[in-house]
Amino acid sequence: MVIHFSDEEQLQNKYKYPEYSSHIELHKAFVKAFLEYKNQLDTQGTSISLVAKFNSFVSNWLIYHISREDKKIGVYIKSINV
């Protein structure tokens, strides 16, 4: 996850993606939420409820992030490389 975000951010920086700063904030928010789930797991242990919430969070975030935010990066890079 951290490597993917770093690679993606380097790509955005390379092409001077105009929404670079806001995209990084999305990554930071994901990592923060991920660590909160990890903390819950560490302190409360595994439960069906926690696993379901975590799976829903990750699935929804990835679907939204890839289909909207990451897609915008691709569209931008294609537009400047045409």
Confidence band (pLDDT; 50, 70, 90) for 1? confident
Residues whose CB falls within 8 Å of the CB of residue 73, separated by 6 or more in sequence, listed in order: 8, 11, 12, 17, 23
pTM above 0.85, yes or no: yes
Q: pLDDT tens for residues 14-40? A: 999 999 999 999 999 999 999 999 999
Q: What is the pLDDT of residue 82?
A: 59
Q: In the block, which residue shows the tokens 């955005």?
A: 12
